[in-house]
């Protein structure tokens, strides 16, 4: 069980609201208890979704639809989690403008990464291992950096 710290100014507002509405008070108390018992931001999926999602339901702010926006989100989050903030125009070089060349194995690796990132605190050691060993997830291309710009170590 976790402890929740509520700032005095916030507690004052909560007390004021709750004194006016006992139903709200009980609902708030229950929600706080629920968060203390399971603070995970992500809820486990009830059903297996593989093969049941429409890729066109994934829409990026620029209007792009399909799996590519989903991949962007996964890699933005992964790089951010590894304390490596990237620009929204950057993607791993093996994906950048090569989406149509990706194999089923590539998608399976990304699926595994996404599953681990659902609970980053519990899976952090494994995520660090992936960061350190899967170079293709780290090498980025963007508008100013292409395949020929990367240093090749021998």
pLDDT bracket for residue 42 (50, 70, 90): very low
Distance, CA of 42 to CA of 56 (rounded, Å): 23
CA 131 to chain centre: 15
- pLDDT at 141 exceeding the cut of 80: yes
Mind listing the pLDDT tens digit for each residue in 70-117?
Answer: 888 899 899 999 998 888 788 888 887 788 888 889 989 999 999 999
Residue ranges per structural domain of the chain: 8-42, 55-141
* Residue whose entry in the numeric block shows the structure tokens 């203390």: 36
pLDDT score for 23: 84
Asked if 111 and 103 count as a contact pair (C-beta separation under 8 A), the reply is no
CA 7 to chain centre: 28
pLDDT bracket for residue 48 (50, 70, 90): low
Alpha helical stretches, state H, the chain: 8-20, 22-37, 67-81, 104-117, 124-133
pLDDT score for 132: 95
114's tokens: 């996404």
């Amino acid at each position: 069980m976790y402890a929740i710290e509520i700032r005095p100014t916030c507690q004052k507002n909560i007390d004021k609201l709750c004194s006016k509405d006992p139903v709200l008070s009980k609902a708030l108390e229950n929600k706080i208890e629920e968060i203390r018992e399971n603070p995970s931001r992500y809820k486990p999926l009830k059903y297996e979704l593989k093969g049941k999602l429409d890729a066109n339901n994934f829409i990026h702010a620029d209007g792009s639809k399909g799996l590519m926006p989903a991949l962007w989100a996964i890699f933005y989050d992964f790089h951010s989690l590894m304390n490596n903030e990237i620009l929204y125009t950057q993607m791993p070089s093996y994906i950048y403008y090569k989406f149509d060349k990706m194999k089923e194995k590539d998608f399976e690796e990304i699926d595994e990464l996404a599953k681990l990132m659902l609970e980053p605190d519990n899976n952090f050691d494994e995520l660090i291992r992936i960061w350190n060993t899967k170079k293709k997830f780290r090498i980025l291309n963007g508008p100013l950096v292409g395949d020929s710009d990367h240093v090749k170590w021998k």
